[in-house]
């Protein structure tokens, strides 16, 4: 444990301190009278909650973004979303490069100690790549949305551009904030709004390492890394499964999909499935969904998006690795494999550790929320997983959880945003060699 602390103590502290500093700075700005509309409350707890939600790219809100905050307040939220999304994507990509780079771990640590960096050229190119991907997807999404708002909804060009930029950033960073009280429910029948937002969320949830591989060999899947194959494959599976489950369950619900045409029901089901990856917007009233849909959403939100992405959750690679472990055990195979590649035992333990600690975090958060709020388990669990997975979907109880509930959700957002990243890096870097092994003994299992 001491070696672990020595290896990652300073980087972890720096990451956590930086995010906390941005959150506190954002909450200070949102606490200013100029940030809230006349007659609205400018409490410190609501400002802190909103700032944490924006920096952690979650999207949970205790106040309606459009009516509570002024243009200044909305701009602060926009900047915080961009900082949070770009920062976490850059950080996770750097850690991925360090862990899986060509140089060995000891060589990289020695290089860092001597030069105070992990290769300036590689880091600069990686940061530039993240910036290019971010700006390209956000710009394309903003242009499509702005054009739609002008041509179909009669918005002035300046207002349409602002709406397009805000929601493009919110979608790609997987933040989930919207400038309408009903999020995107007014656009449930408009594929020119729903599809660009959903695709931006999915794009942000892939992670830069995937884009780096696709840029080099997108026409040759055989050359893709195992991480890229798992991320793309699991993304397709979860999107399809989520769309099918949500659409089937809500098909006849008159309060959600029941009043739509068959094609639009599938569109709304796909939109909700995409948003559970960490997007947080909704085109139908989540509070009116069936409890079975909430449960499906819980599972999708807990898994989340890809590693080194703007999305949250335990990550699709972690989920897939656990599946490979189970499959190998059921088959009685000595090695865990995927795509003719053997998964190291260390990586299996890392996936199991992250998953179990995440379950513990959700369980602890749910227990506390049940104590400090009057809501039932199904709604509380949905809210807790949404906060921990930095999703932002809600059954409508966020504004009524009280101060203790807000602080609990704020802590869950921070843990869910930073915990898997720093913990994953810590476990990957924590490699020890031992010159002896203890005698083996087999306790009973099951």
Q: What is the pLDDT of residues 411-441, one digit of tens each?
A: 999 888 877 656 555 555 555 666 777 787 7
Mean pLDDT (the chain) is 85
Closest CA relative to residue 238, chosen from 314, 183, 178, 175: 314
- Average pLDDT of span 365-381: 96
Whole-number pLDDT of residue 258: 94
Query: What is the token pair recorded at 398?
Result: 């966020």
Whether residue 139 has pLDDT greater than 70:
yes
> For the residues 116-143, what does the mean pLDDT come to?
76
pLDDT of residue 208 exceeding 50, the answer is yes
Are 258 and 268 contacting, i.e. CB atoms less than 8 angstroms apart?
no
Reply yes or no on whether the pLDDT at 301 is more than 60.
Answer: yes
70-79, 83-92, 286-295, 349-358: least confident range = 83-92
CB 377 within 8 A of CB 389: no
- Reported as a pLDDT band with limits 50, 70 and 90, residue 41 is confident
- pLDDT tier for residue 104 given thresholds of 50, 70 and 90: very low
304 closest CA partner among 294, 322, 317: 317
The CA distance from 55 to 171, in Å, is 14
Q: Which structure tokens are listed for 64?
A: 């309606």
Average pLDDT over residues 170-179: 93
Show the 3-state SS of the chain.
CHHHHHHHHHHHHHHHHHHHHHHHHHHHHHCCHHHECCCCCCCHHHHHHHHHHHHCCCCCCCCCHHHHECHHHHHHHHHHHHHHHHHHHHHHHHHHHHHHCCCCHHHHHHHHHHHCCCCHHHHHHHHHHHHHHHHHHHHHHHHHHHHHHHHCCCCCHHHHHHHHHHHHHHHHCCCCCCCCCCCCHHHCCCHHHHHHHHHHHHHHCCCHHHHHHHHHHCCCHHHCCHHHHHHHHHHHHHHHHHHHHHHHHHCCCCCCCCCCCHHHHHHHHHHHHHHHHHHCCCCCCHHHCCHHHHHHHHHHHHHCCCCCCCCCCCCHHHHHHHHHHHHHHHHCCCCCEECCEECCHHHHHHHHHHHHHHHHHHHHHHHHHHHHCCCCHHHHHHHHHHHHCCCCCCCCCHHHCHHHHHHHHHHHHHHHHHHHHHHHHHHHHCCCCCCCCCCCCCCCCC
Q: How confident is the model over 42-70, as a mean pLDDT?
A: 90
What does the pLDDT look like over 261-274, one tens digit per residue?
999 999 999 999 99
pLDDT per residue over 195-204, tens digit each?
999 999 999 9
Query: Residue ranges of the domains in the chain?
Result: 20-99+119-429
pLDDT of residue 16 exceeding 90, the answer is: no
> Can you read off the two tokens belonging to residue 41?
């409350």
Mean pLDDT computed over 310-317: 90
């Amino acid at each position: 444990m001491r070696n672990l602390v020595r290896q990652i103590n300073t980087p972890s502290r720096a990451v956590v301190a930086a995010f906390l500093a941005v959150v506190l700075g954002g909450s200070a700005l949102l606490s200013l009278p100029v940030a809230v509309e006349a007659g609205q409350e400018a409490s410190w707890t609501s400002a802190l909650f909103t700032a944490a939600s924006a920096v952690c790219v979650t999207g949970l809100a205790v106040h309606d973004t459009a009516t509570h905050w002024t243009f200044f307040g909305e701009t602060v939220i926009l900047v915080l979303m961009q900082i949070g999304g770009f920062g976490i994507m850059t950080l996770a990509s750097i850690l991925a490069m360090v862990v899986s780079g060509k140089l060995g771990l000891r060589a990289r640590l020695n290089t860092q100690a001597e030069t105070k960096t992990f290769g300036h050229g590689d880091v600069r190119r990686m940061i530039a790549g993240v910036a290019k991907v971010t700006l390209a997807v956000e710009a394309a999404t903003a242009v499509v949305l702005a054009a739609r708002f002008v041509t179909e909804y009669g918005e002035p060009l300046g207002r349409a551009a602002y709406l397009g930029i805000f929601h493009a950033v919110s979608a790609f960073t997987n933040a989930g904030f919207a400038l309408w009280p009903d999020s995107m429910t007014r656009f449930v029948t408009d594929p020119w709004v729903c599809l660009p937002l959903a695709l931006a969320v999915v794009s942000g949830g892939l992670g830069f390492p995937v884009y780096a591989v696709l840029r080099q060999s997108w026409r040759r899947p055989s050359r893709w890394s195992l991480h890229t194959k798992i991320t793309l494959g699991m993304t397709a599976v979860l999107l399809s499964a989520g769309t099918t489950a949500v659409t089937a369950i809500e098909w006849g619900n008159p309060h959600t999909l029941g009043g739509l045409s068959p094609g639009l029901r599938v569109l709304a089901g796909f939109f909700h499935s995409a948003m559970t990856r960490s997007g947080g917007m909704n085109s139908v009233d989540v509070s009116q969904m069936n409890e079975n849909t909430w449960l499906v959403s819980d599972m999708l939100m807990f898994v989340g998006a890809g590693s080194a992405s703007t999305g949250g959750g335990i990550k699709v690679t972690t989920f897939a690795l656990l599946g490979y472990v189970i499959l190998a055990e059921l088959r009685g195979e000595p090695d865990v494999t995927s795509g003719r590649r053997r998964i190291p035992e260390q990586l299996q333990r890392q996936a199991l550790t992250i998953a179990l600690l995440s379950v513990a975090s959700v369980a602890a958060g749910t227990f506390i929320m049940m104590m400090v709020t009057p809501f039932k388990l199904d709604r509380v669990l949905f809210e807790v997983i949404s906060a921990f997975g930095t999703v932002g979907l809600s059954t409508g109880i966020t504004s009524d959880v009280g101060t203790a509930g807000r602080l609990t959700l704020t802590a869950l957002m921070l843990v869910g945003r930073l915990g898997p990243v720093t913990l994953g890096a810590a476990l990957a870097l924590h490699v020890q060699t031992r010159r002896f092994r203890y005698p083996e003994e087999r306790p009973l299992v099951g």
